[in-house]
Amino acid sequence: VEVEHTRRMTLDAIRSIPDHSYQLCSQLFLKTLYDRHPYGHLAYGSLESVGALTQDMLRTLYASWMQPQRLVIGISGAMS
């Protein structure tokens, strides 16, 4: 349920880019500057990539990246 909700919201955000001049200009600038480099793509993904994601794909990715032995904790500021 949560995956489908997030997918709908993400797809709506991608579809709304042409309605917002700043977002559209940013997208075109990055695409022009970086071409096929990952920086040239939207952080959201594309309509195709978001539409193709499945819950099993997300579980597999999570299991491969979220491992306790990779945990790093950063602390900043006054500690007492």
- Both tokens of residue 50? 């978001």
- Cα dihedral value 14, 19, 20, 21, nearest 10: 120
What is the predicted pLDDT for the residue at 9? 96
What is the predicted pLDDT for the residue at 79? 83
Task: Tell me how far apart the alpha carbons of residues 27 and 29 are, in angstroms, rounded to a whole number.
Answer: 5
The predicted-structure confidence for 40-60, as pLDDT tens digits, reads as follows 988 889 999 999 999 999 999
The predicted-structure confidence for 7-52, as pLDDT tens digits, reads as follows 999 999 999 999 999 999 999 999 999 998 999 988 889 999 999 9
What is the predicted pLDDT for the residue at 59? 93
- Both tokens of residue 44? 């959201």
